[in-house]
Amino acid sequence: MIRWFKSFQLSLIWRMTVLLLCSTVIVWGLFSAVLTWEAKRMTRWALVQQHIQFADMLWDNLDDDDDDNQGRQATRDTNHEPREHRQKTPATDMLWEKLDGRLSESNNRGHALGMGTGLEFAIYDLQTGALLNASSTPALPRQYDFSKKPHIVQFNERNWLVSARQSDELELVVASPNDGATELAMILAQRMAAVALLGLLLLIPVLYWALRRGLKPIHAFTDDVATRAVDNLAPMTMSVPKELKPLQERLNLLFLQVEQTLAREQRFTADAAHELRTPLAATRLQLELAATSQRLDIREKALNKATQAVDRATHVVSQLLLLARLEHGSEIEHQPIDFERLVKDALVEAGFPDDAHHIQVDARPTVLGQPLLWALVLRNLIDNTQRYAGEGAQIFVHITQRALVISDTGCGLDAAQKSRLGERFYRPAGQTATGAGLGWSIIMRIAQLHQTEIETFDVQPHGFGVKFSFPVV
């Protein structure tokens, strides 16, 4: 039982089947209630119409003619006794024969009240109040509140629908059980409910089959995901319903992100192994030389070179870690950036002048981003100038509303060198200054995170410049 309940909780087909069945039962119940009410209303209307037609038919059959007048006059002179004990005269015999002949097709007289066909009547003489004829015993009482419209009257422990017809001499009282409409309506409702319940029972397997048929694409989609290899990060291309399309797109995006993450990790591992191999080998060689050499100057020189190799390895690792963090991050914290303050701090820290001749501010750009990352961009550019621009090179900064321009008066770069800016570990040939070749990769990634375009240009007569174009806020 518990296992079945757990499978029910986890089964989408069963949950949808139960939900649909519950909805169907609710609608079925409301429909049955409305149908019962409507059946009761229509049945009551039909019985009222039958009642009116029966009363009109009796009244038409009792229409005045000569024979009837004579019979009524004679009957008024008799006692108020039942027909079997009344004094017989030719007139009364003629009246009873006429009534018996005309009413025998409509009702059976002489039964107990309420045990006949459902429609009862009684005929009274208005002048004497005598009961002339009745369809049952006891007879229906006279209606002193005369009304042709059927209304409810309680008599003989039952509610009756009663109407009357009167002339100057006669009163016709017609009645029918009021509970007949309810009984007929309940019979109709029970029969319709039984048919509807049978249809509901037949609907359960049909719904289950239809849901299994409709959910086949979900099963196929599930099987495709479950049978994929662990290292298979290719996009899912199978045709799915539009309801599953967002899920498929999110999974494909997840596969792409995982693939990119794995690629970054593999690239980081390969770069670290490649770049650390040389300084570690050099460190080991210099330490062995210092340990085996008997000359003090050689040992000191070897130890200095080992220290430089360790510094280079430390710099490479820090740059690799920084680049890995930048590549992994997709969003940054947005803050207002004071580029003038960042530029002055970077120049002063590197030992360059920060006067108005070297820093020109036309307008303060309204840029949101991460100030620490832009400080890192400035430090990398200034560090490159110090390392590769040559002695005496100066740095000039121009700040506008839409751009940040940094240039130097160094030796510049040729077209081939500029085309390879951003490649990992790329360093122009013949360089003797230390470096990891990752500075421009870091600069380009930070600019990408800030949706900023980078443009390089030559400075005349010699030098190199970079322009950062900010996005429109």
Within 10 A of 165 (CB to CB), how many other CB atoms are there? 20
User: Are the C-beta atoms of residues 122 and 80 closer than 8 Å to each other?
Assistant: no
Q: What local confidence, expressed as pLDDT, does residue 49 receive?
A: 85
> pLDDT for 277-335, tens place per residue?
667 777 888 888 888 888 888 888 888 888 877 887 786 677 667 666 666 665 667 78
Lowest mean pLDDT among 38-42, 110-114, 124-128, 376-380: 110-114
pLDDT higher than threshold 80 for residue 256: yes
Q: Which two tokens stand for residue 75?
A: 């009957």
pLDDT higher than threshold 60 for residue 271: yes
> pLDDT for 1-39, tens place per residue?
455 545 545 567 777 777 887 888 888 788 777 877 887
Residues ≥6 apart with Cβ < 8 Å to 459: 407, 408, 409, 412, 465
Percent of the chain with pLDDT over 70: 75
d(CA 190, CA 196): 10
Domains along the chain with CATH numbers: 68-178 (no CATH), 245-328 (1.10.287.130), 335-469 (3.30.565.10)
Q: Which two tokens stand for residue 226?
A: 């479950």
> pLDDT for 394-414, tens place per residue?
899 999 988 999 998 888 777
- Omega before 461 cis (within 30°)? yes
Q: What local confidence, expressed as pLDDT, does residue 82 receive?
A: 41
pLDDT higher than threshold 90 for residue 468: yes
Q: What local confidence, expressed as pLDDT, does residue 112 receive?
A: 55
Q: Which residues of 257-280 are buried (b: 16+ CB within 10 A; e: fewer)?
A: eeeeeeeeeeebeebbeebbeebe
Q: How confident is the model at residue 109 (pLDDT cuts 50, 70, 90)?
A: very low
Pairing verdict, β 403-408 and 453-458: unpaired
